[in-house]
A and B are shown apart, each in its own frame.
Chain A
């Protein structure tokens, strides 16, 4: 966000028609296990291809997510703590995942469950290094531009589509810091795809202010990153998929 400091914005008076900068986005997060599994280095081509051919008609695991945002803050979490089947007859507990960001104070406060434990990460914000590309597409009625980055810890290729007309730097999962609100996030060619299904402009100061007490282990970003790195290494070494017990 330091770059934002250097950045200069001439405001000799914002126009009355300026875009609204607060609201709520509903995303659908689709986790494609087949794609995740077919990237595991310890599986042979034969095993991967067999998996692809056997399960080619299967769809991913879909969960609805919510992002509350205004110009300075954002809150991203599961829409419901439990996943429910379409007919409502089955439900499953979802892992804790509450991501809060304050772009003004440059802080984050995250509650993330992984490897069976809940961690509370409170630390300063570090903006991903984005590349902005020349592609446009429409997501939930907003024309978005493409940007790319990589996750250095999980070695993932990240593609984000940000709205040209919502000048907010918030976004889903761990991503933010673009000139517009991120409406679609693609992790590793669709392994996880988070797509906005509805964008609603309204006052969300109440939702942004709510806090829910959660027990967990407090940890700093650097330690958390190390934890992830170790877990991935250990799992791959013992030929297990690290993402059964960790968010992709």
Chain B
């Protein structure tokens, strides 16, 4: 700039100073407007003619004069710009002289209405290309469904008369093109009357050569006023779809397909699948393709206040949404059929979504179960072989509507509906063994049950949110109504034989043959209010109120099938109603500044329960259950977000309401050796939970560390008391008990061994649980300590070979306070690897190995299961739209769904016959192309 000033001083004598530089020239001129007034301060730019690159720029002085000195001798475009004027471009072609004097250049003002309306009001860019003026049509608002004609009427400088004739800048428009092409013949009206305005992104007006001069190539000098309509990129409607079909050995098959159509506002999709390879739900990708923009909706939760809406949990609300399953289930065999359609409509202010989905799942489970039950002294073992057959049909319909009423008010209405029906058959033989003895069973029970059900569930929520003009002051109100109406009926037959009962001459038998009909109806009305007041820039204060009125009604009739016909069983039949009134009011204060968030609050929770039950509706006498329950619910949170680090600390009280089935005073004897009873006196479970976490991620070295520790203490924990009589019949009943604790920790450490080639991740978790329960009315503490550790490696040495080994070791140590002799340990190990190879001829190979080891030394149980899946596939057609795949599933035919678990005083090992070895040939076609899965998806 100093040099610049120097140059400025030399202004007066510029002719002399640089005259000798022959390779350099000066360009000068002056700028005036159309009324010949001089224009000082106009921007003057020198651009290269080839690509408009900016070489130099300056401004005119107070006499309207500009001059570029000492610029390279070359052709230029001189561009003049001034507020309110059309930019002017002048070609500069220097001759032999030292100075190019362009003389006086006049610039034309921009038509005032263009400037005011297009640029200022519509905030739309105005493009000038020679004599072409271009508008951004999207900036001009026309009602939805308008035609282009109505849009043109809105554009400044355009007139459309009653007959649809168009004038631009006073001249008749004789030609109308769409994306530069004559689309609708020679009559411009055809285009304007037929095209929707929404499809247009730009309107260009220019003078085009006549068709005659275009064809002859001889410019007749005549020009036609032409309007070109440019179509929106996004409006070019789209459609996509994919289909997969496969056929395999052992009658295995799969069929899956979806098709979608969309434009800027609407998405429509249909999806369907059928298979017998245990894929019961949609994959995550399929779900997203199906639901589109409505796949995920936050803020649809109407329960305000702390605990993130989890303040009230009902155990049996699940299954109302579209089912998603991540891969195939490893239990039993299933036949699955599903199909549905979805429609979304999205604009900035209105969002509407609706869908219907049907699925049918038929499953068979052929199960071997070994169960060890600890008693005060000793234990007994149950060995069960069962065969269960289920069929379920679900019709789901849902709708969601969101409307921004204005910039401050929003309304969301969500409705989910499900109608389901199904049946179940269960046949089972249970052998009971005293102690660990290997001898003959002491008793045996066979059962044969059949059940049917039909039900409807409805969940609706309306949420209204209001923002006040004061920033941060917010109000929200919600109203929900939920119904769950289920009718079931069944027949159960069982025969229990006690071989060691000597009183009745060696063997006694108990036979049962009953029919039952159960109608249960639950309705719930909920409402919440929430108000947030900002106290300062960093503090805010929230107050909330939750209300719920829940009514349970259960009518169960049990009949004994006897020789005299059906006889109502009074001790098992029940009529039960329960009204649950829930109120919670709470307040919290929150501080948020510089990445630190602190909040603390307290709520008071109160509920009233009014229940009654009897053997039937006429109910003489009804037993009443009436209680009030009050508890304080505190909450405190700290969260600190620093550079590459974050820390969080949290204290809260979880409140878990007892489920309907736990509350209802119904005796479920569908397994006569394991009888479940409800408990209408059950109180909600409170868990004081303290948790903290610490995370570091260094984006430079990709090292990440995460540590988490949590502790929970239960009050009124819902546990299932066990009473085991001398006939080894277990009766469980939920009761409340204090003192159960859980300590958990998780640690993860990951880092690259070699950037982009190898990453190592290690993790370990420890869970120490102490659960009190009663066994035959004696308190017992079961300590369940679980230790888990794992290592995984991502090896991606080249584009043609990837390997992902992973190892996991899991060990559970279970101890019983009343009977230490029953203490035991369970081991589950898994060694797995996933390998991908790109082979010649565009063939890809995937191998997935899972070597699983299950051990239970006390049971003498050891199983080693190597499960290996292989597949070869080839992508072909343009854009890799098609794929052929050969899959060998469980090559060694070793898959047997094993689960080992221990809970309360029970340890069990279960083996379910499941999908094992089969081979499949499948074909996929995806309009949007398919991908070789050489690498695991890292997310984005």
Contact = CB atoms under 8 A, between A and B. Distances in A.
* A and B are partners in one complex rather than unrelated chains: yes
B252 interface: no
Contacts of B41: 15, 18-19, 167
B68 A145 contact: no
A44 B931 contact: yes
Nearest to B6: A5
Contact of A82 (B53, B65, B67, B595): B595
Given A37-B940, A53-B292, A117 B67 contact: no
Contacts of A135: 125-128
A131 B929 contact: no
Given A137-B125, A138-B123, A7 B58 contact: yes
A47 to B, nearest CB: 8
State the majority secondary structure of interface residues on B. Answer: mixed
A137 B123 contact: yes
A239 B293 contact: no
A210 interface: no
A179 B471 CA distance: 39
B113 to A, nearest CB: 14
B51 A131 contact: yes
Interface stretch (A61-69, A83-91, A196-204): A83-91
Interface in A90-121: 90-93, 103-104, 113, 115-117
Given A12-B63, A56-B346, A57-B293, A145 B87 contact: yes
Interface in B1-24: 1-4, 7-8, 11, 14
B471 A88 contact: yes
Interface in A128-154: 129-138, 143, 145-147
Interface string A15-29: 100110000000000
B699 A54 contact: no
A4 B1 contact: yes
A59 to B, nearest CB: 10
Contacts of B568: none
Interface in B568-603: 590, 592-597
A46 B126 contact: no
A173 interface: no
B262 interface: yes
A6 B124 contact: no
B-side interface size class: 35 or more
A116 to B, nearest CB: 4
B668 interface: no
Given A6-B71, A164-B81, A167-B59, A178 B267 contact: no
Report which residue of B2, B87, B267 has the largest number of chain A beta carbons within 10 angstroms of its beta carbon: B87
Contact of A49 (B43, B53, B240, B700): B240
A234 interface: yes
B700 A117 contact: yes
B55 interface: yes
A49 B110 CA distance: 42
A245 interface: yes
B488 interface: no
B872 interface: no
Interface string B595-615: 111000000000000000000
A90 B929 contact: no
Nearest to A3: B56
Interface stretch (B371-379, B513-521, B640-648, B761-769): B640-648
B408 to A, nearest CB: 12
Contacts of B643: 93, 113, 116
Given A8-B14, A10-B11, A104-B1, A92 B595 contact: yes
A8 to B, nearest CB: 4
A46 B70 contact: no
A147 B929 CA distance: 37
Interface string A227-248: 0000000100111110011000
B699 A116 contact: yes
A6 B69 contact: yes
Given A9-B4, A136-B128, A238 B755 contact: yes
B617 interface: no
Contacts of B641: 91-93
Contacts of A45: 879, 928-929
B11 A132 contact: no
Contact of B120 (A72, A104, A138): A138
Given A8-B67, A132-B52, A133-B52, A115 B700 contact: yes
B580 to A, nearest CB: 32
B212 interface: no
B288 A53 contact: yes
Interface in B279-327: 285, 288-289, 291-293, 295-296
Contacts of B940: 37, 40, 43, 51, 241
Nearest to B1: A104
Interface string B108-145: 00100001000110011111110000000000000000
Interface stretch (B496-504, B532-540, B772-780): B532-540
Contacts of B746: none
A12 B61 contact: yes
B700 A137 contact: no
Nearest to B474: A87
A12 B288 contact: no
A15 B40 contact: yes
A55 interface: yes
B62 interface: yes
A33 B505 CA distance: 80
A122 interface: no
A242 B120 CA distance: 38
Report which residue of A13, A86, A137, A244 has the largest number of chain B beta carbons within 10 angstroms of its beta carbon: A137
A117 B128 CA distance: 45
Contacts of B351: 57
A79 interface: no
A164 B700 contact: no
A138 B119 contact: yes
Contacts of B180: none
Given A9-B59, A53-B288, A136-B125, A44 B928 contact: yes
B81 A131 contact: no
A99 B590 CA distance: 34
A165 interface: yes
Contacts of B128: 134-136
A44 B346 CA distance: 25
Contact of B4 (A7, A84, A137, A138): A7
B98 to A, nearest CB: 14
B198 to A, nearest CB: 16
Interface string B619-642: 000000000000000000000011
B71 A115 contact: no
B532 A87 contact: yes
A20 to B, nearest CB: 12
Given A10-B67, A46-B931, A57 B267 contact: no
B756 interface: yes
A133 B537 CA distance: 44
Nearest to A42: B935
B928 A46 contact: yes
A53 B595 contact: no
A54 B697 CA distance: 28
B266 to A, nearest CB: 11
B65 A10 contact: yes
Interface in B338-363: 346, 351
B718 interface: no
B70 A234 contact: no
A72 B4 CA distance: 12
12 contacts: A5-B4, A10-B61, A46-B931, A54-B291, A54-B292, A55-B293, A87-B471, A93-B642, A104-B2, A137-B123, A138-B119, A164-B81
Given A9-B7, A54-B293, A167-B41, 9 more contacts: A7-B57, A8-B68, A43-B940, A72-B1, A88-B540, A89-B472, A134-B128, A179-B58, A179-B81
Q: Which 4 A-B pairs have the closest CB atoms?
A: A245-B699, A8-B69, A137-B125, A116-B699
